[in-house]
Chain A
Amino acid sequence: MEAPPAPAVSAALTDTEIRVSSGFRGARIVLYGAVFDPKDRPSDIVVIVRGPDTPLRIARKTQVAGLWLNSRPVVFRGAPGFYRVASTRPLQDIAGFAPLRHLGAGLEHLAIAAPLEQRVETTYGVRDVVVSRLGADYLDWRRAVLRLKEKAGLYAADPQGVRFVDKGLFRAQLDLPAEAPIGRYTARIVLFQDGKPVSIRDRELIVEKAGAERALYLFAKDRPWTYGLVSVIVALGAGWAASVAFRRS
């Protein structure tokens, strides 16, 4: 006897490339998808969009002799530069701890690579950079990373971000701020039934600079010294031009 076809999810992004140019103030990513399930069971959709991972450094302000100073920064290797999770209803109603943690769905389940042990290393020519094990404080630091990223508009969770527009057909909407990092993003679309992920699809999204922005960005990265000289010449030229203009007036 043939097994009944398994439930499946399929989805597509309306744009797979976001071009950042001078007018860029952020973008809206729209994703459409469909659930194929012959048995027509109740379904939940979770969409997780992750930007490229970047090492990040975070310091804690501590009071030393009445002054608020930064502690030595702690390096987290590999936290997504951008993270959005959208779902049909609050994640804790969709599934339990284990599947959410496994998928990294939701800010509290987001895997941020924490420093594993304390060691002193030489980074970029600077000696004695402490890469420390945070121990009992770990959760405070982790929460701080999430909070600061959320405040910057780079991390967010939207429990109403996915809506069924018709039977089996859904639409998700995720906002990308102007500060979102450049690079390769992945959108993971997960179909949940009875609290279990039953079908997963991955889609790619590329955010790249375009036009003059891209040219200037590449110029500054690839030929920094020439770029520096050009920017100084532009500055001095503008100053000189202004004084000429004012002499005539």
Chain B
Amino acid sequence: MHFYLPIAEVSVNALLLVALGGLVGFISGLFGIGGGFLMTPVLVFMGIPPVVAVASEANHVAASSVSSVIAYSKKRVVDFKMGAVLASGGAIGSFVGVEVFRWLRLIGQADLAVSVSYLLFLGVIGGLMLIESVGAILRRRSGQPPKPRRDRRPLLLYALPFKVRFPRSRLYISVIPPILLGVFVGILSAVMGVGGGFILVPAMIYLLRMPAPVVVGTSLFQIVITTSLTSVLQAGRNQTVDIVLATLLLIGGVIGAQLGARASGRFRAEELRALLALLVLAVGLRMGADLFLRPEEAFVLMTGTAR
């Protein structure tokens, strides 16, 4: 069943997109990530112009994340206050990111920015997560007690002003680090077409020192807000959101996300993290490989000039 996408201006197999949306949605619900880092490369590979893929994916991530957030909020593991602080940074980041992406397209370096950010962020985060989670699994297998959490000595970050109490996360910290984190993730959301969960989740655990159970739900809550905004900005500034593409993806995505959120209870946290790490690492290396391999075609046509 083929469908002509009005903004992307290509004809695609609708059932394939629904199935892909379902698969990515499942992964998204399982790990508490938006799934954009998987879907954007797949869409580009399918022949959808990268700028349309990035922008429509933000829309799709918003949909699949909202359905997971509802599932998590019922378990009372969303820190809405922290989410709102992160999202206020995310809003700034997505404004900046949409403009940066627009500029990168015009100077012809959008591909480079996308490859480098995938390689850098996914490679580093995936590698670190893999080392950490495999270590945790090995310690458990060998019967050692889990590594005690390092004492909460106040990092330099915590000495900053504007301290706020976050009861759900049991934290009393400055709002500056979460806002800066939000800005950074908002930029990534616009440039890479991702929610940024793969950065947010570890940053919330290791940097903000939030208790692990509230991290995933809170990260998803922030992602919903940031990607919704990115999506409106991309539509308004770059006119690259394809509503038909996003809808096809989210039909499968919302169902997959629900199933994934249910399945997540059946795994141990370390094993989930190890799996996610492998996935993140593989996608990062695949996207970055283009930088090092001699291209088959020496020239690239760039889709349209910006309006």
Contacts and interface: CB of A to CB of B under 8 A. Distances in A.
Interface of A: 20-26, 54-61, 63, 66-73, 75, 123-124, 126, 129, 141, 144-145, 147-149, 152, 178-179, 181-182, 209, 212-214, 216-217, 220-221, 224-225, 227-232, 234-236, 238-243, 246
A236 B291 contact: no
Nearest to B5: A213
Interface in B277-307: 290-295, 297-302, 304-307
Given A231-B59, A234-B247, A240-B70, A70 B111 contact: yes
B43 interface: no
A135 B157 CA distance: 55
B19 to A, nearest CB: 16
B235 A58 contact: no
B232 interface: yes
B301 A148 contact: yes
A227 B243 CA distance: 9
Interface string B254-284: 1101100000000000000000000000000
Interface in B187-233: 224, 228, 231-233
A241 B235 CA distance: 24
Interface stretch (B61-69, B80-88, B136-144): B61-69
B236 interface: yes
A71 B232 CA distance: 31
A216 B5 CA distance: 10
Given A61-B300, A216-B244, A241 B305 contact: no
Nearest to B65: A239
A25 B6 CA distance: 12
Given A129-B106, A234-B247, A239-B254, A224 B67 contact: no
Contacts of A70: 108-109, 111-112, 300
Contacts of B302: 56-59, 73
Interface string B43-65: 00000000000000001101111
Q: Which of A149, A152, A227 has the most CB of B within 10 A?
A: A227
Which residue, B59, B71, B300, has most C-beta atoms of chain A within 10 A?
A: B300
A25 B13 CA distance: 10
